[in-house]
Amino acid sequence: MHLKNINLHQFKNYHLVRAEFSNEINCFLGTNGSGKTNLLDAIHYLCFTRSAFNTVDVQNILHEKSFFTIKGDFELEEKNIEIKCIVESGKKKQMLHTGKAYDKMSEHIGLLPVVMIAPDDTQLIKDGSEGRRNFFDSIISQLDKPYLHLLVRYQHFLKQRNALLKQFSESGQIDQSLLEPYNIEIINLTKSIYIKRETFIQDFLKGLQKHYGVISGEKETVEVVYQSDGKDLDFETKFKASLSRDIILKRTNKGIHKDDFVFTIGGYPLKKFGSQGQQKSFLIALKLSQFQILKERKGILPILLLDDIFDKLDDLRIAKMIELVANHEFGQLFITDARPERSKQILSTINADKRYFNIKDGMLSPD
């Protein structure tokens, strides 16, 4: 699978841009703020229906404009397909597959697997559980359509139950008959989603540990400890017993939406006890494991987006990444860098087709 070209119209800082890409390595070069990462984000939109950085679609429209479009031509399993994204203020977002609009965005998820390694990845370690849930949910959703449907269904019933809890809290009156249908759905969906997450993590962990050893050369054991209410055999009883607290707080406090994936090194939390080098190695290993499992399960090499990694990694980790690229472990790559000569020097040792693009003030030109 590869992206042949892209057309942007009024997306972020680009007024009108078109680019033709190499099937192997593409490097976007320009100063910070020139729009390099915005190009990666446009590719992410085409593959995953949304931005990797700003989930409010209208905020990605060029300033003082009312819409944006992103269009790309892909080659997938020897077939040419066109994907187009249209976002217009006040209207529903559209994704079109070769001219035909999807009824639901979820129908597109998984068709074009993509993996991004970016500076903001440190938030997966440092921030709360929501980011880690979203990370693993995004991978499983690309591999398992029924899982995505379960998640959508769960969020629907959670939203409805929370609205009832707020109503009960403000009125001081509780109607169990109204609440019970939502209780049943959330309890059953929690158990189903838990099983799928637990099964996935056991498989994912093997790749993570392998890549961590290769990238870091360290001997510590890394783990992902999955914490979930769903594994509690007495979950249904505890869920219903939490009603009083739920009403006070006006939200559901037990369920799959409270899950966490705790990253550890040597048995201790990576967030507190991992050095900067260990955390960087873990994050790269995490993304490489994501790439590997998508590749193995789908039989397709995902597109790999590398945002500013040469600035964020030390020489050892850069060398390990380039070794993987040189061994053709990946398919199509898109790389950003603020220092053109550095990128050209690092990539000069790799026997692959390379294309460089200079970016300045929302304009893109081949090098």
Residue positions forming the annotated binding site:
30-37
Is 150 within 8 Å of 189 (Cβ atoms)?
yes
* Distance set, CA 31 to CA 25, 156, 259, 337, 361 (Å): 20, 43, 40, 8, 9
Angstrom distance (rounded) from CA 179 to CA 330: 49
Angstrom distance (rounded) from CA 131 to CA 53: 12
Residue 126 structure tokens:
């440092």
Residue 151 structure tokens:
């998640």
Is 190 within 8 Å of 230 (Cβ atoms)?
yes
Residue numbers in the known binding site for ATP are 30-37
Query: Given the DSSP bridges, would you call strands 25-29 and 333-337 parallel, antiparallel or unpaired?
Result: parallel
Query: Given the DSSP bridges, would you call strands 100-101 and 94-97 parallel, antiparallel or unpaired?
Result: antiparallel
* Distance set, CA 129 to CA 56, 185, 285, 328 (Å): 21, 23, 19, 34
Backbone phi and psi for residue 216, each to the nearest 5 degrees, phi listed first: -95, -25
